[in-house]
Amino acid sequence: MSRKHILAVVIVAVLTLTVGGWALSTLFAGPPSNPPQSNKPAQHTDLNWTFPIENEPATPLPDFRPLVSELMPSVVSVTSEMVVSTLFGEYADHVAGSGIVIDDKGYIATNNHVVEDARSIYIELTDGRIFPADTVGTDSLSDLAVIRIDATDLPYAYWGNSSSLSLGEWVLAIGNALGEGITATEGIISRLNVSVNVDGNTLYGLIQTTAAINPGNSGGPLVNMSGEVIGINSVKIVASEVEGIGYAISSDEARPIIEDLIRYGHVTYPWLGVSVSSVTPLLAASENLSVDRGALIVEIVADSPAEDAGLRAGDVIIHFADTEVSNLADLVQAIRSSEVGEEVEIVFIRGQDTKTTSVQLTERLTP
């Protein structure tokens, strides 16, 4: 390197070290004797600020231990043996689920998909006892079933009123998660009166919860903080981007179905005899409907109560009995709340006109 280049490097180094005024003396002689200071307080400071004092202690999270100890003996593990047919023959497969003891005579409520077409069913109690179970009745439309074991004086769960639930309310899900035995998970009520399509069948009046519902939880109870069953765990959304979305059949929906299964072995549903779609603003525009809510009749079944009442495809049902109908779910639940043989009034829209008719519902047996 030439002497000119060396001199240039030295000059650059000196300039760099002297940038900032007293930076060079700081590097070689310690802190400056008179560093720059400011006696002015920052614009938004408050010398007298302190943390607010809470007048009352924070509300603690609920203690689930009493609920768990009280309810676990009434929740059972269900193991169903299924026969699976393949091109290479048949083999036995086992499905794990849960159930709720609902009285001291051995009746147990569970999901239809846990026991449907089972060759044999076994129940394990929390005390380790194992019993074979018989099927009392199943209902594929509601995904509910009742089975029974030959045992008495069993601890059983009390049924609650799901119509009194509120969003954000604490709940507990208990069941045979992953077939590993009875466990409990906590969560809150996220949504109410939800409809979910499962393999082509729509379940109505569901409770959405953040309580973890895993395979094997199906048929177990969702309970409130009073220890009452307010739902039967049934469905969860399974996707890589989904977390904490599970559904339970509400106790108010399940109660009459369970009663019918125990009394008659099947569920009798009132039948109108129509295929319908929910009316939305988009559907109303595309079909040139005069209303943007209701249940649009797509098809009328021949010789059905709907045909006898003079209803036609293209009519929009807006009122059924005492229920205002805004969509398909409203109509289905209104029909299911009626009685076989009951005569109800239906208000519907045909073109621009509002019309009224009466229909006598007949019986529809579940498949």
User: pLDDT tens across 127-178, in order?
Assistant: 999 999 999 999 999 999 999 999 988 999 999 999 999 999 999 999 999 9
Query: Quick check: 33 pLDDT over 80?
Result: no
Give CA separation, 351 vs 1, 160, 317, 326, in Å. Answer: 97, 44, 12, 17
Q: How confident is the model at residue 52 (pLDDT cuts 50, 70, 90)?
A: confident
- pLDDT confidence of residue 2: 46
Range 14-18 average pLDDT: 43
- pLDDT confidence of residue 122: 96
- pLDDT confidence of residue 259: 95
Is residue 113 part of the annotated active site? The answer reads yes
218, 234, 250, 338: which one is catalytic? Answer: 218
| DSSP E strands, 183-280 | 183-198, 201-209, 221-223, 228-236, 246-250, 268-271, 274-278
Q: Between 305 and 240, whose confidence is greater?
A: 305
* Alpha helix segments (H runs only) across the chain: 3-18, 23-29, 65-71, 112-115, 251-264, 281-286, 305-308, 328-336
139, 143, 260, 330: which one is catalytic? Answer: 143
Query: Quick check: 21 pLDDT over 80?
Result: no
Q: How confident is the model at residue 8 (pLDDT cuts 50, 70, 90)?
A: very low
Mean pLDDT check: name the lowest of 7-11, 65-69, 133-137, 312-316: 7-11
Give CA separation, 236 vs 53, 109, 309, in Å. Answer: 43, 19, 40
Query: Quick check: 56 pLDDT over 80?
Result: no
Is residue 290 part of the annotated active site? The answer reads no
Is residue 319 part of the annotated active site? The answer reads no
Do 164 and 111 contact (CB within 8 A), yes or no? no
Catalogue all structural domains in the chain, each as residue range(s) with its CATH number.
72-149 (2.40.10.10), 160-265 (2.40.10.10), 269-365 (2.30.42.10)
**How many C-beta atoms lie closer than 10 Å to residue 153's C-beta?**
8
Q: How confident is the model at residue 22 (pLDDT cuts 50, 70, 90)?
A: very low
45: its two tokens? 């400071």
113, 190, 251, 260: which one is catalytic? Answer: 113
- pLDDT confidence of residue 15: 42
What does the alpha-carbon distance between residue 120 and residue 115 come to, in Å, rounded to a whole number? 9
- pLDDT confidence of residue 241: 61
Do 147 and 178 contact (CB within 8 A), yes or no? no
Do 192 and 207 contact (CB within 8 A), yes or no? yes
Q: What is the mean pLDDT of the chain?
A: 85
Query: Quick check: 364 pLDDT over 50?
Result: yes
Range 171-191 average pLDDT: 94
- Mind listing the pLDDT tens digit for each residue in 234-245? 987 655 566 668
Query: Quick check: 90 pLDDT over 90?
Result: no
Give CA separation, 366 vs 51, 142, 310, in Å. Answer: 64, 10, 25
Q: How confident is the model at residue 100 (pLDDT cuts 50, 70, 90)?
A: very high
Residue type, 346: I
Report how far Cα 18 is from the mean position of its chain's Cα atoms. 69
Range 259-273 average pLDDT: 92
Q: Is 285 exposed, middle or buried (0-12, 13-18, 19+ CB in 10 A)?
A: exposed
- Per cent of the chain over pLDDT 90 is 62
- pLDDT confidence of residue 27: 43
